[in-house]
Structure 1
Amino acid sequence: MKYFLITMGVLFTIIGFVGAILPLLPTTPFLLVAVICFSKSSERFENWLVNTKIYIAYVESFKNNKGYTLKN
């Protein structure tokens, strides 16, 4: 199960990073699923993902504020 979760985490991380470049693909949901997979499989991989620039830019505020922000 550990290797399956790591594989899924890597896959969702790659899709999330591609989503940061392509405007049609969302980034946040894929990185959130990757964090869940990594946190269930390995503390080392979770720490790596949480410290990436893309995670900090797209997911950190979502995680801290418990949702998306509304733009006025």
Structure 2
Amino acid sequence: MTQSIAPSNQTKPLSRLAKILYGLVGGLALAMGIIGIFLPGLPTTPFVLLAAACFAKASPRVHLWMLQHKLIGPMLRNWEEHRSLTRRTKCVAIGSMSLMIAISIWSFSGQPWIQLSLLILGGIGAATVLRIPTRPPSATSSSSSVGKP
């Protein structure tokens, strides 16, 4: 007897608990992203992208609000359209992470285990950014009107 397998593009609706959990994680990620705007060393973009992904599953209304927001909307629309980063964005991300890691390592002088931990975490962060596909220079964002009425 053969089993019927549902096509991969069909997904089961999320349970109420799953929507609540996605909403909580999305809210926490958005809060961390907002804090990251004002706190040097705390990234903003990854938290905003995580929040958008969570709200896309938990609350389409909040996801649409994020897409239409004047500050974070263009970044989200650009990510959703291309699923890649520009070379400039990668350089800025890795450069700012490197600077903050270097300052942190310097501030923990005399504590080699903390310094080594910071160096390893910085390497993981850089590797994560480098794994994201790099967008060719010709691919510009044409999604400036996506999600707007």
Q: Provide TM-score, normalisation by structure 1.
A: 0.77
**Structure 1 unmatched ranges of 5 or more:** none
2:73 to 36, 43, 56: 56
Report the CA distance between 1:53 and its aligned residue. Answer: 3.2
Other-structure match for 1:23: 40
| Greater fraction helix | 1
**Structure 2 unmatched ranges of 5 or more:** 1-17, 89-149
Alignment of 1:7 onto 2:24? yes
For 1:8-55, what per-residue CA distance to the aligned partner results, in whole angstroms no more than 9, with x for missing partners? 111100100111112211111001110110001111010112222331
Paired residue total: 72
Task: Find runs of 4+ consecutive structure 1 residues off by over 6 angstroms.
Answer: none
Percent identity for Structure 1 against Structure 2: 32
The answer to whether the Cα contact below 8 Å between 1:17 and 1:54 also exists between their aligned partners in 2 is: no
Other-structure match for 2:140: none
The answer to whether the Cα contact below 8 Å between 1:6 and 1:38 also exists between their aligned partners in 2 is: yes
